[in-house]
Structure 1
Amino acid sequence: MLKRGLIVVFALVAFTFSKVKAQQNENVVVVKDTLITLLQHVRANMGINPVESKPVAVPTKPTVRSAATRTTVRGFRVQIFAGSDRNSAFSEQARFRNMYKDIDTYINYDEPNYRVKVGDFRSRSEANNFMNLLRQQFKNVFVFSENVFVYQ
């Protein structure tokens, strides 16, 4: 059994060495099936996964909450506090509200910890940008995926 294991290990090492040697001496040729290109063009014409994607900035419209409908979607929030002290959780929430009056805050209690999370972000990149901004004022800041509120 040990002999067979050594043979397998030796074969793997030899195979890996020969591949590395081949990559150093030869050019890599990529062969692409023409059907892949055809499928990409068909999907692009249908509006699905276009071949050439260009970033488009969509301006966000300010939503008047009193006239909008609130719905729940899967999104992201930034956690600014996690701990077992209730008073500390509420003081961190108040401190955040003083700095950012237009961003909603949420306190969750999962025994034995309180968690203060802020914002209702649809994309992780928005949440990450806001998290990086908050790192200057709060410690242990993280992004979490959860159901968030959006106004339409």
Structure 2
Amino acid sequence: MPSFVILDKCDGCKALDTTACQHICPNDLMVLDKETMKARNQDPQMCWECFNCVKICPTQAVEVRGYQDFVPMGASVTPMRSTEDIMWTVQFRDKNIRPKRFKFPIRRGVEEGKAQPFGHYETGDEDLKSPTLMCEPASLNTERGPVKMDKVPTL
């Protein structure tokens, strides 16, 4: 599902000539409606669903349905940016389930060629037929033992 703007939340980036979502959209789809001074996606069918506009919006007025590979159907995904990291909140369709939160660092300001994309994880074995992902098993945090199903794990 392409990006869409919640008009009640959008302030048009305080009525500047262009909005933050206009600047960051790689397909130049976001435009500022001069009459309402609200942003909108001018061609939803061409949206790449890259989440750039969602992450940069200062009022959290832009939403995109999360991909099925990282959130269940019907869940909403909301990023909250700070200067150091992005906190992703997944709110499930069933509001009785507590939302899940994931925190990732922002690499802005890192000198070119100095970023550590794998962090402190070793990159697993080099066998392409292996069922493990690149940073597994180190990134799975399996050293804390099995998780009991009667309690929801917290981050």
TM-score (norm 2): 0.25
Flag the structure with higher strand content: 1
Flag the structure with higher helix content: 1
Flag the structure with larger Rg: 1
The answer to which structure, 1 or 2, has the higher relative contact order (CA under 8 A, 6+ apart) is 1
TM-score (norm 1): 0.26
